[in-house]
Amino acid sequence: MITNTSLEYKGDTYPSRIVLVEQNVDSFYFHSENNVILKITVLRDSLIRFRYTTKGYFSTDFSYAIDKSHTHGYNFLEFQEFEQFYRITTSKVNCIIQKADLRVAILDKNNHLILEDELGFHWEESNEYGGNIVKMSKTSRDGECFYGLGDKATQMNLKGKRLENFATDQYAYQKDQEPLYKVVPFYIGLHNKQSYGIFFDNTFRTFFDFCHERRNVTSFWAEGGEMNYYFIYGPQMQDVVTTYTDLTGKPELPPLWALGYHQCKWSYFPESNLKEIVATFRELKIPCDAIYLDIDYMDGFRCFTWNKSHFPDPKRMVAELAEDGFKTIVIIDPGIKIDKEYAIYQEALAKDYFCKRADGPYMKGKVWPGECNFPDFTNPVVREWWATLFKELVSDFGVKGVWNDMNEPAVMEVPNKTFPMDVRHDYDGNPCSHRKAHNIYGTQMARATYHGVKRYAYPKRPFVITRSAFAGAQRYTSSWTGDNVATWEHLWLANIQVQRLSLSGMGFTGSDIGGFAEQPSGELYARWIQLGVFHPFCRTHSSGDHGHQEPWAFDEEVLNITRKFVNLRYQLLPYLYTMFWQYIKEGVPMLKPLVYFDQEDIQTHYRNDEFIFGNQIMVCPILEPNALGRRLYIPRGQWYNYWNNTAMTGGKELWIDTDFDQIPLFVKAGAIIPKYPVQQYVGELTFEELTLDVYFKNGKEKSVVYEDAQDGYDYKKGRFSLLSFQLTGKENELMIQQHKEGKFETSYKNYKINLIGLPFEVRSIEIDTVAVSLDADGYIQNGFLFVEKGFSVLHIKG
C-alpha cells in the first residue's frame, strides 16, 4: 500500500555515511555505505541536478520533460573536501553534502542558506510493485512562500497546501479539488527576497506538501521511479522561471490568428448551424478567427472520420469558412473504436499499436465511441503513425488546428476514471506500466498530433491544443483548463490557474470563457470575456446543454461589452505577439503574477487577482456580481489608468471605480504600446500605420515590438522586425530613440503616435535632429502625431 506521507515512517530507509566519492567532469557520485548513490550534476552555475539510486547503480537516464536542446555550461566549478562535508562551488551557489548522511544544503555566495534537506532523501520499498516510494523533505523557513505546479485550482501562494499530481478528467472541479488535468512538478520557493525552483522530473503520481503536514517542512515524493530533481537558483523569480522553461523547452511561434478570438461549443452541427454562427460573428462585427468542431462532426465518434449527414462536404465547407477568415479546428480523442469495419482500428490492430494489459490482451475502455482500444503514444513508432493520420484532415480538407481531449487518459464507467495500472507502455524503449506512463500519456499524444499537423500544415504553422499535459508539453501544444463551471468562483479560479500555468512554463493557455458546465448570466459572461481577452489563449466554450453561449446569447449590453473587449484584444495583437516572442525566445512568462513582477515587495506575496499582461499592462478582473469597482493592489512604480489616463503611484492597495464595460487596467509609465486597427480576423486589413500609445514618464523605459509575416517560418531566417524604443522623459521634453533589428519590412509606413500624460505643451518636434513644422505638414492631426516609421530619434519639446 502506498503511504500518503512524506514523514518519518517506520519502514523508511535513509542513506548512511559516504564511503566513496567520484568525479566525472561536471558530475559527482557520492556512494553511501548502504548502496545509495547521489549523483550531482552541475548543468549551469545556477542549475544543479540531483539524482539518487538505492540499488548501487543507476538505470537508464530518460526524460520526456527535458528539452534536449537546453542550455548548459558553467563558468566556475570547484570541489573540496572538509572534515564533515564535501562542497561543490559554482559562480552562483555553494552546495554542501554531509558525509554522515548525504544531506544537502545550498547556499548563496554570501553563505546565506537557500534550501536545506530536513530528512533529505529517504525511501520506502514498494513491496507490491517493486522499486521505491521515493521521498524528499526540506526545511522551510518562516515567511517562505511557494508558487507554481501548473493548473492547481487554489490560491496563488501554495503555502499550507498538499497537492497531488495525477492527470485526471475532473469534470466541474471545485476550488481546491485535486488532482486536475495537468502535471507540472515544478515549484518556486521565495524566502528573504530570494527565489529558487525545484523541478521533480518523475512521471509517477507525485505529491507536494508545502508546510501542510508540518509547519517548517516542505516535502515531495513519488509512488515510484527515481528521486530525480533539478535545483534552480534565482535569486530573481524571473531567472528561476526562464531557466526552468529553458530546461523543459519553449514552443515555436503560433500563427498570429491563433492569438485571435476562438469560438467553440459542444457541438456546432450540422453545417447550416455552423454557418449561421460564423455569419453572425461577421454581421455583429465581433472579431473571430477560429471555429471548433467538437465530437459530433465524426461518424459515431470514430477519429478521422466525418458524419456525412451533418457535414456532407468537409473540404468545401472548410474552404468556405476560410474565405471568410475562419480557421477550422477539429477535436481528436485518443480512444479508437473497436469496430472491424473501421480502417484506423484495423490498421492499429494489424500493426499492434494499442496498449496492452499486463497479461497480453489489448486494454479496453469505454469512451464516446463505446468500447475502444488506445494507441500507445509512448511508442515512437505509434507517434509517427498517428502523425500521418492528419494528412487528410490538414492537407486535403484544410483543417488548421487540432484539439486533443480526453487524454489524461479518461475512461468512462470505471471508478478510477482511467486505465488500469497494469497496462503496459513502451515509454520510448523503457517498458513500464501505466503507473509510470499515466501522467505523460496526454503529452505524447499531443506531441504526435503536433508533428502531424505541423508536417501537413507546412509551410504554415500548426495549432494544437490539449487538455492533459506534463511539464515540457509547451514545446508542442497550447492547453486549456478543462471542464470548469459557469460560476463566479470559477472565474476567480480561471484567473489564478492561467497565471499559475504561465509561471510553470506553460504559457499558451486559457479557460473556457463563460464556463463549460452550466449557464452563465450575461453579467458573468461579460466579466469572463473581460478577463479572457488577456489570456494567451482566448476561447469561449460550453457544453451546450444549457442553451447558447455565443456573445449574442445575452442582452445588447453584454454583446457590446464583448465586442469592445474582443476589439481591444485585436488592437493589442502586436503587443500580444511580442510577449509571445519573448516567451519563445527567453522563456519569459506572458502573464506575470504580481509576486513575479516585484518579489521584493512583500505586499505581492499573497496577491491572486492582479497580473501583468506582457511587461507593461496590469490587469485586474472584476470577480463579483454588481460590482461598481473593486479593491486592488497596484505594484510599485508609476502607472496610468487605461480608461481615463490619470497617472498614479503604485505600492498601495486602493479602491478603483469601474463601469460594467470596464475592468481595472493600468499601463506602466513610459510604456509604448503598439496597436493594430480592429480587424474581424487576422490579416483582414492591410493598414497604413501602426498606432503607438506613448505613456509619458519622467525617466526612462524600454519597449519592444516584434512582428513578422504572422505565419510560416521565415522569421527563423531573420525575416522579422524587432523594434526597440527607448523613451526618456524630462520636465520639458520627451525623446524616443528607435532601433530596428531583422530583415522583415512591415507593410505600414507610418506611426500614429498618441501622446498620453505629456506634462507640457508641444512647442517643437525634431525627427533625427531635423525640426518639423508643427502645423503646416500635418504632423499633428486630432491630437495624434503622424511620423514615418524609420526614425532614429524623435524629440518632442515643450
**Which stretches of the chain bind ligand MIG, using CB under 6 A?**
266, 294-295, 331, 405-406, 467, 482-483, 516, 541
> From residue 736, how far is each of 246, 517, 752 by CA, in Å?
33, 49, 14
* Rounded distance between C-alpha atoms, residue 157 and residue 140, angstroms: 14
483 is catalytic: yes
For 126, 275, 353, 569, the CA distances from 291, given in Å and listed in that order, are 48, 10, 32, 17
Length of the chain: 798
Q: Which grid coordinates belong to 258? A: 491563433
C-alpha 92/C-alpha 588 separation (Å) is 21
Phi, psi of 239 (to 5 degrees): -70, -35
59: helix, strand or coil: coil
Nearer to ligand MIG, 331 or 526 (CB): 331
Query: To the nearest whole angstrom, how small is the minimum distance from the Cβ of residue 406 to ligand MIG?
Result: 6
Side chain identity, residue 456: Y
Catalytic residue from among 271, 408, 701, 711: 408
Q: What is the CA radius of gyration of the chain?
A: 27
**Closest separation in Å from C-beta 466 to ligand MIG:** 11
CA atoms within 13 A on the CB side of 353: 22
Place of cell 505594484: 635
| Beta strands 370-373; 365-367: pairing state | antiparallel
Are 297 and 330 a contacting pair, CB within 8 Å?
yes
Answer whether 210's CB lies under 8 Å from 162's CB: yes
CB of 179 to ligand MIG, least distance (A): 16
CB of 549 to ligand MIG, least distance (A): 12
d(CA 332, CA 353): 17
AA letter at 494: A
- Which residue from 684, 575, 696 is spatially nearest to 639, judged by alpha carbons? 696
Three-state SS string over 525-590 comes to HHHHHHHHCCCCCEEECCCCCCCCCCHHHCCHHHHHHHHHHHHHHHHCHHHHHHHHHHHHHHCCCC
- Find the shortest distance in angstroms from Cβ 356 to ligand MIG: 25
- CB closer to ligand MIG, 243 vs 443: 443
* d(C-alpha 731, C-alpha 280), whole Å: 50
- Least spacing, CB of residue 541 vs ligand MIG, in Å: 6
Q: Which is nearer to ligand MIG, 187 or 516 (CB)?
A: 516
CA-CA distance, 399 to 332, in Å (whole number)? 12
Question: In whole angstroms, what is the distance from residue 383 CA to residue 113 CA?
Answer: 45
Least CB distance to ligand MIG at residue 482 (A): 5
Q: Which residues pair with 125 in a beta bridge?
A: 132
Active-site residue, selected from the candidate residues 333, 483, 598, 693: 483
Residue placing its CB nearer to ligand MIG in the complex, 250 or 535: 535
User: Are residues 730 and 698 in contact, defined by beta-carbon separation less than 8 angstroms?
Assistant: yes
DSSP 8-state code for residue 354: B
CB of 328 to ligand MIG, least distance (A): 16
**With respect to ligand MIG, which residue has the nearer C-beta, 527 or 541?**
541
For 124-127, the CB contacts below 8 A with 24+ separation are 124/3, 124/9, 124/11, 124/12, 124/13, 125/11, 125/13, 126/2, 126/223, 126/224
Distance CA 437, CA 419 (A): 10
Alpha helices in 155-263 (DSSP H): 237-248
Of residues 408 and 693, the one with the C-beta less far from ligand MIG: 408
Q: Which residue has the cell 468545401?
A: 316
Q: By beta-carbon distance, which residue lies closest to ligand MIG?
A: 266
Q: What is the DSSP string of 637-691?
A: SEEEETTT--EEE-SEEEEEE--TT---EEEETT-EEEEPPP-SSTTS---SEEE
- CB-nearer residue toward ligand MIG: 367 or 667: 367
Omega before 235 cis (within 30°)?
yes
The residue (of 374 and 715) whose beta carbon lies closer to ligand MIG is 374
Nearer to ligand MIG, 47 or 465 (CB): 465
Rounded to the nearest whole angstrom, what is the least distance from the CB of residue 453 to ligand MIG in the complex? 18
Q: Is 67 a catalytic residue?
A: no
Smallest distance from ligand MIG to CB 467, Å: 6
Our CB check for ligand MIG shows the closer of 92 and 262 to be 262
Active site residue 213: no
Name the burial class of residue 110, with classes exposed (0-12), middle (13-18) and buried (19+) by CB atoms within 10 angstroms of its CB: exposed
**Least Cβ distance, residue 615 to ligand MIG (angstroms):** 32
For ligand MIG, the closer CB: 266 or 779:
266
3-state helix, strand, coil in the chain (%, to 5): 20, 35, 45
**287: which DSSP letter?**
-
Rounded to whole angstroms, the Cα distance separating 84 from 76 reads: 23
Q: Which is nearer to ligand MIG, 541 or 607 (CB)?
A: 541
95 Cβ contact partners less than 8 Å away, ≥ 6 residues apart: 40, 48, 87, 88, 89, 104, 105, 106, 107
- Catalytic residue, candidates 12, 405, 512, 711: 405
Burial class (CB in 10 A: 0-12, 13-18, 19+), 415: exposed
Closest separation in Å from C-beta 540 to ligand MIG: 12
CB-wise, 153 or 785, nearer to ligand MIG? 153
In the complex, least distance from residue 628 CB atom to ligand MIG, rounded to whole angstroms: 34
Q: Looking at the annotation, which residues are catalytic? A: 405, 408, 483
